Structure formats: structure tokens, C-alpha cells
Amino acid sequence: MQAIVIYIAAALAEIGGCFAFWGWLRMGKSPLWLVPGCASLVLFAWLLTLVDSGDAGRAYAAYGGVYITLALLWLWLAEGVRPDRWDLGGAAICLAGAAVILFGPHRV
């Protein structure tokens, strides 16, 4: 359960950091947006190191499903675009895959 909380926090930090760059380059926002954006991306990377996994690749792979789901939530809440059934179906598939990776009985 702790990994899921970390993944959610990491996804929000990554999306926020990337959105700061998007705002600067694509929306004409001030370059000052890069300061919290960079800090947010550093926070994202640090948070992923807290996941209890012996393999970085497995931790990142499981994180992917959570990231995709929260990116669609960001699309809806921050950008005002409601995800359609294809978005939601894709997110469900990704979350199922993340659960298999995260909770599967891996060899040690």
C-alpha cells in the first residue's frame, strides 16, 4: 500500500514538473515556471527511490500505470478535457498491468 501512495505522489510531482515546462514552452508562461518545475521533477525522482523494490526497472514499470491514470485525471481537472471511454479503458489496462508487476510473486 505504501508503494501506491509513493507512486501517486511521484506522478503528481512528475506531471506538475512537466506541465511547468509545457506552460513555459507552449503557453508562453514566464521562465520562472521552470524553477518549481525543476524542483518538482527532482522530487519525483527522489520519491521513486523510496519504493521498496530491489529492481529500479520493475519499480518504474509498475509506476507507469499510476502515472497514466493520474495524467488523465490531470487532463480532466487541470485542463478541463474530460477523458473518454477509450482513455478510461486504456488506463484500466495499464493499472491492471501495474498491479501484476507490483504484486506478482517475483523470484528473488
Determine what percent of the chain is predicted with pLDDT higher than 70. Answer: 99
Tens digit of each residue's pLDDT (9 = 90 or more) over 23-45: 999 999 999 999 999 999 999 99
**Which comes out higher in pLDDT, residue 88 or 54?**
88
Residue 103: is its pLDDT beyond 80?
yes
pLDDT of residue 34: 98
pLDDT of residue 3: 85
Determine what percent of the chain is predicted with pLDDT higher than 90. Answer: 77
CB 41 within 8 A of CB 18: yes
Residue 53: is its pLDDT beyond 80?
no
pLDDT of residue 108: 67
Interacting residues of 36 by C-beta distance below 8 A, sequence separation 6+: 16, 17, 20
Dist. CA 61–CA 67, nearest whole Å: 10
Average pLDDT over residues 73-99: 96
Average pLDDT over residues 78-96: 96
Q: How many other C-beta atoms lie within 10 A of the C-beta of residue 59? A: 21
